[in-house]
């Protein structure tokens, strides 16, 4: 079987979801998967970015990260999304990316993608779970196979116990308040394992 292909697609204003995505990438590379780390296009007006020091700094620091193309979803066997909450919902930047996938969806090319999601918010209960659910709702419409973390590893308890996907809260300086690196690594290895079972199973039919 050819190598499993994983696309990690994120949006981040101030770096949290970029960090979560990088931890996922490291874990995926350790198990020999072909990985793409991709950001969705920034849609906010330059004046908004300029007005927030942390946002501006992160925006400039990640200029070289490739922007996710629609074909990246077609390329990938498995997808990890990482997004900050926006009032309990997806950031518009990620929503726009999903909305543009209508063409691929119409060709049946979103079916059976193996998907998992991560999130962050400023408060410990600021909408992380709901944000992951909002993304998973779209994934159901895609015919994707959602892989939640459940309580499949001790690291999930230590990370705050979100069974839908790893999530974290950040203080006003952007520092993560829970230790979630191990949970991200577990989530990544779990989705890879399940995606391999599915890919191998399909290949053997
Ligand atoms: C428009 C907007 C809405 C937000 N809504 C919430 C919210 O409802 N609850 C919360 O705890 N944090 C909220 N936040 C904080 C972000 O979720 C937080 O800054 C983000 O998770 C940090 O991730 P990042 O560093 O990857 O951008 C909001 C931020 C913005 C800009």
Tens digit of each residue's pLDDT (9 = 90 or more) over 28-76:
999 999 999 999 999 999 999 999 999 999 999 999 999 999 999 999 9
Domains of the chain: 5-203 (3.40.50.360)
Confidence of residue 102 (pLDDT cuts 50, 70, 90): very high
Report how far apart, in Å, the C-alpha atoms of 103 and of each of 40, 66, 71, 120, 185 are.
17, 21, 10, 29, 32
Q: Which tokens sit at 108?
A: 């049946």
Ligand 1 site, CB within 6 A: 12-17, 84-88, 120-123, 126-127, 170, 174
State yes or no: pLDDT of 2 exceeds 80: no
SS3 46: helix
Q: Which ligand 1 atom sits closest to the C-alpha of 84?
A: 21
Q: Is 158 exposed, middle or buried (0-12, 13-18, 19+ CB in 10 A)?
A: middle
| pLDDT tens track for 135-171 | 999 999 999 999 999 999 999 999 999 999 999 999 9
- Cα 122 to ligand 1 centre (Å): 6
Distance, CA 172 to ligand 1 centroid (Å)?
10
Q: Is the dihedral of CA 8, 13, 15, 17 positive or negative?
A: negative
How many CB atoms sit inside 10 A of residue 202's CB? 11
User: How many secondary structure helices (H) and strands (E) does the chain include?
Assistant: 9, 6
Choose the residue to mutate in 84, 124, 168, 172 for probing ligand 1, maximizing ligand atoms within 8 Å of C-beta.
Answer: 84
Mean pLDDT of the chain: 97
Span 110-138, average pLDDT: 98
How many other CB atoms are found less than 10 A from the CB of residue 11? 26
Calculate what percentage of the chain has a pLDDT beyond 90.
99
Give me the residues paired with residue 170 across strands. 176
CA of 26 to the centre of ligand 1 (A): 25
Ligand 1 atom closest to the Cα of residue 15 is 25
- The model's confidence at residue 1, banded by pLDDT at 50, 70 and 90, is low
């Amino acid at each position: 079987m050819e190598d499993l292909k994983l696309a990690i697609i994120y949006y981040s204003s101030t770096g949290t979801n970029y960090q979560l995505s990088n931890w996922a990438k490291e874990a995926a590379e350790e198990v020999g998967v072909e990985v793409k780390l991709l950001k969705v296009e920034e849609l906010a007006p330059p004046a908004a970015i300029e007005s927030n020091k942390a946002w501006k700094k992160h925006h400039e620091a990640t200029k070289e990260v490739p922007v996710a193309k629609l074909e990246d979803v077609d390329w990938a066997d498995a997808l990890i999304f990482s997004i900050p909450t926006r009032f309990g919902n997806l950031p518009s930047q990620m929503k726009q990316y999903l909305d543009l996938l209508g063409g691929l969806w119409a060709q049946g090319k979103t079916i059976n993608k193996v998907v998992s999601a991560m999130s962050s918010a400023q408060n410990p209960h600021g909408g992380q779970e709901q944000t992951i659910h909002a993304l998973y709702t779209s994934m159901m419409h895609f015919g994707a196979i959602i892989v939640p973390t459940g309580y499949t590893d001790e690291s999930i308890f230590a990370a705050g116990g979100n069974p839908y996907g790893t999530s974290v809260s950040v203080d006003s300086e952007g520092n993560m308040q829970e230790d979630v690196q191990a949970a991200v690594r577990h989530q990544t290895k779990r989705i890879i394992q399940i995606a391999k079972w599915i890919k191998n199973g399909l290949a053997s039919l």
